Amino acid sequence: MATGESSRREGSLEAPTRHPLDWRSPDFYNKDSLFHELERVYDICHGCRRCVSLCNSFPVLFDLVDESPTMEVDGIKKDDYWKVVDQCYLCDLCYMTKCPYVPPHEWNVDFPHLMLRAKAVKFKDGEVSLRDKVLTSTDAVGKLASIPVVVQAVNAANNSKPLRQVMEKVIGIHADAPLPRFESNTARKRLEHAPAAPARAEPTAETTGKVAVFLTCYGNRNAPAVVEDMVAVFRHNDIEVRITGSEVCCGMPKLELGDLETVAKHREANVAALLPLVEQGYDLIAPIPSCVLMFKQELPLMFPEDERLAKIKRAFFDPFEYLMLRHKAGKLRTDFNEAIGKVAHHVPCHQRVQNIGLKTKEVLELAPDTSVTSIERCSGHDGTYAVKAENYAFAKKICKPVVNRIAEGGFDHYLSDCPMAGELIEQGVATSEATSAFTLLRQAYGI
């Protein structure tokens, strides 16, 4: 390609590449530098507008431009730049599916990591509410809420309309937003002493045939039944399964808050727990896509020099990605006892950007008389985004196309690989409950 030709083309046809996040550089937190880059990227986005159908950041940005005196980015008040930042929940879809100007294009647009930088600046300047700090402290909240004496009161409060209305007024959690149920009988308690069948799985070129489960905060305290079903399916396939000796939050909630120092602390604790397992030959899986993505992408980009983390990254798999790798090597059982039927499968953003394909769909369709329709649209939930009073209406709007597809499709079941997304979808569908892919698979196996 001739020099300068790349600047004349509309966009890049090359695969996106990611640069490490230079979050320890002093310039990263320099507001003048940040605002210069925000203006540069906002201007590129304004001239393109391909991302308008994704999250609410882009409609907010384009409205600011269209309502400004110049109808260009230079007409937006600098303080209003934060309105765009506050609507980004780092789903990464603009980078991976829409933007033609991501690296290696010379314009080098990485909108999600620019939003992350802006969030980190806000956090460093103390411009974060107590509510948001509490919502992202999943370990502390989960440990307290899942205490046997406390858990019933917490779940009752979360389901009480009058108390929820008070919560909305006092702390800004929307009265109608779905909040997770807490379990005192956690996944760790259920599985820690469960007898494991002797491992009989043979290794393949890409899998060892034995896995350690990173339970995650949500899997452990909010969705232990999903974890149980996942473990049952893996053990039915003769795969040795153990749970990690300990874990702290993967760091995704604090990443979305911009609290990068806490992300770094969580990473150190989790590396200490996971690395010995990898060195003993275990592959790693987790029941929540966002947590898998942290180890596959975000943490390695924050710490590109950490060889320990690189080993963990290579060993980490989405659980259905793992099962399909086993199937392709002829090592997955397909002796199903029951059909599953017609399934609507919502693909979470943080699973889509792992670039693994529709592995949940592929595994489920191994069962007889089973068809799966995958819906590749954002649910709008994103962990803490949808529960905030100021965002709930936006989240419901983003989720509506997913709900409509399910409501109109005549499906026997619907699910999301992200249980939290499933709760918001379920609220929209209203007539039936979301399920889990592992629950359906376990039923199909008859185990």
Pull the structure tokens for residue 5.
């030709």
**Residue 71 resides in a domain:** yes
Q: Are residues 432 and 386 in the same domain?
A: yes
Range of the domain at 115: 17-124
The domain boundary, picked from 324, 346, 361, lies at 324
Q: Are residues 26 and 85 in the same domain?
A: yes
Q: Are residues 137 and 34 in the same domain?
A: no
Pull the structure tokens for residue 410.
């005549």
Q: Are residues 100 and 155 in the same domain?
A: no
- Number of structural domains found in the chain: 4
Q: Are residues 352 and 388 in the same domain?
A: yes
Q: Which residue is associated with the tokens 């980190």?
A: 120
The domain boundary, picked from 324, 350, 379, lies at 324
Q: Are residues 42 and 88 in the same domain?
A: yes
Q: Tens of pLDDT along 132-142? A: 899 899 888 88
pTM: 0.92
Strand order in the sheet with 316-317: 240-243, 210-213, 283-285, 316-317
Residues near 176 by beta carbon (within 8 Å), at least 6 away in sequence: 164, 392, 427
Q: Are residues 199 and 165 in the same domain?
A: no
> Degrees (nearest 5) of the Cα angle 14, 15, 20?
120
Q: Are 281 and 275 in contact (CB under 8 A)?
A: no
The domain boundary, picked from 274, 291, 324, lies at 324
Torsion angles phi and psi, residue 248, rounded to 5: -120, 175
CA distance 297 to 302: 9
Pull the structure tokens for residue 56.
């609410």
CA distance 314 to 305: 15
Quick one: angle between helices 319-328 and 224-236, nearest 10?
Answer: 10
Strand order in the sheet with 341-346: 370-375, 341-346, 413-416
Q: Are residues 192 and 315 in the same domain?
A: yes
Q: Are 387 and 400 in contact (CB under 8 A)?
A: no
pLDDT (0 to 100) of residue 396? 95
Low-confidence ranges of the chain (pLDDT < 70): 1-12, 194-198
Q: Tens of pLDDT along 172-215? A: 999 999 999 999 999 999 998 766 666 788 999 999 999 999 99
**Residue 177 resides in a domain:** no
pLDDT (0 to 100) of residue 6? 39
Q: Are residues 158 and 192 in the same domain?
A: no
Q: Are residues 194 and 319 in the same domain?
A: yes
